[in-house]
Structure formats: C-alpha cells, structure tokens
Chains A and B, each alone.
Chain A
Amino acid sequence: MSQLWLALQAGAQVLFAALLLGAGLPAIFALGMRSLAYGAGGTAEVAVESKPRPVGKVLAAVCFGVVVVAILLGISWIVGTGMGYSLVFDHLIPTFRKK
C-alpha cells in the first residue's frame, strides 16, 4: 500500500512539472503564433483582412524566444547533470557548477 502512496506522490510531482513545461511552453508557442498572425494580417487571420501590424511580429519574436531559451536551458541542464554539473542561476545568468 505504501508503494501506491509513494507512486502517487511521485506521479503528482511529475504531473505538476510536466504540465508547467509540457503544456505551458506550447501555450507560449501558441501565443507566438497568434501574435505572428496578428502581425502578418491579410490571410493569416480568420477575421476580415487587415493590414500587417509590426507589433505582432515583435510579440511573436518574444514568445518564440522564451520557448527556445527554455528548451536550450533544459537541454544544458540534462547534459550538465549527466556530466556531474548542476545548472545554477547566478543573478539570473545560467552557469554550470561542478557538483
């Protein structure tokens, strides 16, 4: 019975973190797509055709940037952990530190 409880605890942790990353990042990506379509105007949107709006492209770049940075950090963190380093944030700058 304790095994079931432990598994549920671990599962809840996985669910929470995976929701944050596995649904959160796609959500930001979707926001980026929405902004990109807003920026492109014309046939990119379902609504009546409109002129291109540059602000949309900027917003899109920000969203895609966030996603790419998150993924790159994720990969370096996994690889770093495998090599015995841990990724720490020194004043928001990611750096590797030997364990």
Chain B
Amino acid sequence: MIVLGMVILTSLAFDFTNGFHDTANAMATSIATGALKPKAAVALSAVLNLIGAFLSVQVALTVTNSVIRIQDSTGAPNPQLTANGGSALLLIVLAGLVGAIIWNLLTWLLGLPSSSSHALFGGLIGATIAGLGFSAVKWVGTDTKLDGVVGKVILPAVLSPVIASVVAMTGTWIIYKVTKKVAEKFRNDGFRWGQIGSASLISLAHGMNDAQKTMGIITLALIASGNWTDLHAVPLWVKAACATAIALGTFIGGWRIIRTLGKGLVEIDSPQGLAADSASAATIIVSSHLGFALSTTHVATGSIIGTGLGRKGAQVRWAVALRMLVAWLITLPSAGLVAALAWAVGHFIGGLAGAIVIFAILIGCAGFVFWHSRKNPVGHHNVTDEWETSAGDVLQVPVVPVESAKEAVR
C-alpha cells in the first residue's frame, strides 16, 4: 500500500515535470515575439492544459503496451506480475518513473527541450529489461502494424520534426509572400493575435495527449495492486490529480527551455511565430488522430527550425540545434539506464525498504538539481534577454531562394 502510494506520487511528479518541460512547446514563440507577457503565457497554457486533460475522456489503459509487455491487450496487467499485491509490477513502474523524472530534471537544468514521452518510455523500457529481461520489451511491430520501440518511438521521432519543419517552412514562406506589401508594424501586431490562438491550440492538445499517459499508468498500478477493476475507465480522482499536476507544472514554467526554444534556436518575428505554432498544432492534432505517436517536443522544435529556414536571411543556430539532437538521441537510453539502476537497487534491497530507498534517491537527485539551478536562475524576468551567441553557435544557413531552386530542378 505504501509502495502504491509512492508510485502514485512519483507518477504525479512525472506529470508535473512533463508540464514544465513542455510549456516551451506551446509558448516559447509567443513569449519570444512579445505576443504574450511571460507570466500571462504560462497561465494561459496552464489553464488550457487543465481543460485539455479533463477533455481526454478516452484514456488508454494500454499506454505501456506499445513498448513493453507487462499488460495484455485489454489493459489487464500480466498475472505473474500481480502476485503479492502487484509488487513486481509496481517496482518496474516506480523505477521507470524515477528514470524518466531524473532525466527530465537534468535536461531542464541544461535548458534542453528533450521529449518527456521518450523519457517515460525509456524509463519503462530500462526498468523492464532489468526486471524481466530483453524479451519483455516489444522492439518492433508486426508486418501490418506500426508498433514497438521502433514503430512507436524511434521512427516517429525521426519523421515528426521533419514533417513539422516542412509545414512551418511552407507556412512561413507563404505568409511573407502574401504580406510583403503590408507595413511591418501593422503586420506584426496582427500576427500576434493569430499566434496567441495557435499557441492555445498546442496547449490544449498537449493537455489531452500527455496527461492521459500518467492517468493510464496510475490506473495500471491501481489495477495491479487490486484497488481498481474497471478496464474501461479511470477513477475520477486520478484524472483530477493528473490534470492538476500537469497544469501546475506548466504554470511553474520551464523558463530555461522556453529560453532555448524561443531565443536560442532562431530569432523569430510574430509571423514566423504564427507559422511555427500552426504547424506544431496541426501536426500534433492530425497525428494523434491517425494514431501516429509523436512527441510534442520534437514537433515544436522542428517547426521553429522550419520557420527559420522559410524566411529569407533568417539564421538558425545549428550548434544549439545539434545539442538538442544529441539530447534527443540519448534520452531513451539514458532514462532507461537510470531506471534499470533504480530497479536493481530496489530489487536487491527488496520489498518496502527497496522502494523507499529509490524514492529517497529520487528526492535527493531532485533536490540536487534544484539547488544547482539556483546558481544561474532563469525566470520570467530574464527569459527573453538577448541570446549571447557563443563562438560556433551561428552557422550561416544556406537559404536558397525558391525561384532559383525551381530553376535548378528544371
């Protein structure tokens, strides 16, 4: 029972980190262009995440099924894991969450927008390998279904930023073409309004998509420990707790990440902000409808790079983009490694004491990261300060004018 309580607390803590890690995806561009004041932006995003989380009625209890085998296709946990109050399953989930949270906190400290869903899946995969072996991980799907680590995590992560950047680039190019004869101030004022609208859509979609992963995991833990039996519904208090946790996290605002995404990658104007936000919103919403699992972080980053590529003369700081890319590549294995270690510690100490020790390790790590972050705080007061370009941050983008590109094709 105490272990179950820790799993629930850790899930909510993950949901909270998910919130502040991803505030930037929706609001970084609006804050950077001055469409919204920093505090107003995070407040708006928090409220919309809360609404979105409550609107996600069709919560999948099978959230872990795409990467690991601890549940059957109806969502029921495997019987061999539910013995003894589900302690085997609870330890895997707890260790997985610990790995995910620690990775999320570290990347936040570095201001890197890594994917929270990759951290979660990485953590679960790592804990599963440690606990049940390699065969308990679903690596690839069948011939007819996109599934497994490759189909649900790796391939979408490669494709989604490309898709988003193509959409954002196209949108940016059209916008600047159409509004060429509109005076700059008039144009920017108008586009700020559009930007607020499209950023709001991302926040709503984020609340719908991300909060339900945690809802599914808490409910799985409740089922495994025999405290809930319905495989088609989530307890109302779980939904309310998850919605609140993600909204609070969003409201705290991951200022470090907002700064990197909004100021570090590309210097953007409000028309570009609108193009990037619309591209992100459309890509996230369309793909979640088509069941193509992707990470809002990858999409938002792709869109912002795309909008830099779509405007003549704009610069993308490729060195910053490269750092992000590295963070993306190592998110899954790193979160997995931490989770596997956490599982090992919990398993060898054993029982309640083991779970308490890894919970304590998590609190210790969180405290350390927080203490470290106080050394150079980033908050709403300095989030939009000029980006100090370090040597090598800027590489001139080879912007090919579309006309000459067409000619080259001919």
Interface residues of A (CB under 8 A from B): 2-4, 6-8, 10-11, 13-15, 17-23, 25-27, 29-31, 33-34, 36-37, 40, 43-47, 67, 71, 74-75, 78-79, 81-84
- Cα A75 to Cα B58 in complex, Å, equals 16
Would A23 and B279 count as touching, CB distance under 8 A? Answer: yes
Smallest CB separation, B148 vs chain A (Å) = 8
Chain A facing B: main interface SS: helix
Smallest CB separation, A30 vs chain B (Å) = 4
B179 touches A (CB below 8 Å): yes
Considering only CB atoms and an 8 Å cut-off, how many residues of chain B contact the other chain? 59
- The verdict on A15 contacting B175 (CB below 8 Å), with A78-B205, A82-B58 known, is no
Smallest CB separation, A29 vs chain B (Å) = 5
Instruction: Point out the residue from B56, B151, B160, B178 that lies within 8 Å of A82, measured CB to CB.
Output: B56
Q: Which of chain B's residues have a CB closer than 8 A to the CB of A83?
A: 57-58
- The verdict on A7 contacting B164 (CB below 8 Å), with A22-B278, A82-B208 known, is no
Would B186 and A7 count as touching, CB distance under 8 A? Answer: no
B163 touches A (CB below 8 Å): yes
B290 touches A (CB below 8 Å): yes
Interface residues of B (CB under 8 A from A): 55-58, 140-141, 143-146, 148, 150-151, 155-156, 159-160, 163-164, 166-168, 170-171, 174-175, 178-183, 186-187, 190-191, 194, 197-198, 201, 204-205, 208, 271, 274-275, 278-283, 285-287, 289-292
Can you list the 8 inter-chain pairs with the closest CB atoms, starting with the nearest?
A22-B282, A7-B155, A23-B171, A30-B178, A21-B282, A37-B182, A11-B159, A22-B279
Would A82 and B57 count as touching, CB distance under 8 A? Answer: yes
Would B167 and A6 count as touching, CB distance under 8 A? Answer: no
* Additional A-B contacts beyond A6-B144, A22-B168, A78-B205 (14; CB < 8 A): A3-B155, A8-B159, A11-B163, A14-B283, A22-B282, A23-B278, A26-B194, A27-B175, A29-B274, A30-B174, A34-B178, A46-B181, A47-B181, A84-B58
Would A13 and B191 count as touching, CB distance under 8 A? Answer: no
Would B274 and A37 count as touching, CB distance under 8 A? Answer: no
Would B194 and A79 count as touching, CB distance under 8 A? Answer: no
Q: Which of chain A's residues have a CB closer than 8 A to the CB of B279?
A: 18, 22-23
Smallest CB separation, B389 vs chain A (Å) = 29
Would A44 and B182 count as touching, CB distance under 8 A? Answer: yes
Q: Which of chain A's residues have a CB closer than 8 A to the CB of B175?
A: 26-27, 29-30
